[in-house]
Amino acid sequence: MAPFAERMRVLVADDHPAVRQNLSLLLAGEPDLDVVGAAADGYEALALARELRPDVLVLDHEMPGPPRLEVARELLAEGGGLRVVLFTLDTTVSAAARDVGVTACLAKDAPVSLLLDAVRASGVYLLAGGPAARARGERLSLGPSKPGWRVLVAEDDPSIREILVEALADAGHEAVAAANGEEALRECARRDPDVVLLDLMMPVMGGRQFLAAYRRRAGARAQVIALSALPQARDIAAELGCAAGFAKPFALDEVLSTVERLGAAPPQPTA
Q: Which domains does the chain have, with CATH numbers?
A: 4-135 (3.40.50.2300), 150-263 (3.40.50.2300)
- Tell me the pTM: 0.54
Rounded CA-CA distance 67/71 in Å is 8
pLDDT of 268 reads 56
**Residues of the chain predicted below pLDDT 70:** 1-6, 91, 121-147, 265-271
d(CA 127, CA 91): 8
- Residue-level pLDDT at 238: 94
pLDDT at residue 266, rounded to an integer: 57
The one-character DSSP state at 34 is E
CA dihedral 46, 48, 52, 54 (to 10 degrees): -60
**pLDDT at site 267:** 56
User: What's residue 95's pLDDT?
Assistant: 77
The identity of residue 253, as a single letter, is D
Report the amino acid identity of residue 39.
A
Distance CA 205, CA 198 (A): 12
What is the pLDDT, as a whole number, of residue 8?
86
Q: Of the candidates 255, 262, 244, which has an alpha carbon nearest to the alpha carbon of residue 124?
A: 255
Beta bridge partners of 197: 153, 225
For residue 113, what pLDDT is reported? 73
Q: What is the pLDDT of residue 6?
A: 66
Please calculate the CA angle 170-189-266 and round it to the nearest 5 degrees. Answer: 65
Q: Write out the E strands in the chain.
A: 8-13, 33-39, 56-60, 83-88, 104-107, 150-154, 174-178, 195-199, 223-228, 244-247
Could you give the CA distance from residue 155 to residue 160 in angstroms, rounded to a whole number? 7
